[in-house]
Structure 1
């Protein structure tokens, strides 16, 4: 009685393809996170500059 060994090549290939696509997805997410953080930092900087400019103009009006 001989047992036929299961063909694991196809499942392994599918797992490998999934891992590769997941890794690619993770890289894309990281790129998006970095871009989002960069935009957020720029927006905060602009808001701070606008506030400083507004406060400066208000102070100038007082004197």
Structure 2
């Protein structure tokens, strides 16, 4: 029996442990110094199976590109 990791946000198919998936996350970081970055905010925009990823990732990047502007 395979373990389900998550579901694809487009086709809603179970993504199983061991499969390949694509996720899109956005992060806002504070630069402390040359060698230290402190995460301030991280949000997962979506997770997709490999088959659906190419159809949605470009669209999601454009939609969320200005979130931190």
Q: Where on the TM-score scale, by shorter chain, does this alignment land: which range?
A: under 0.3
More strand by share: 2
Higher relative contact order (CA 8 A, sep 6+): 2
Q: Return the TM-score normalized by structure 1.
A: 0.22
Please give the TM-score of this superposition, normalised by the length of structure 2. 0.21
Q: Report which of the two structures shows the higher radius of gyration computed on alpha carbons.
A: 1
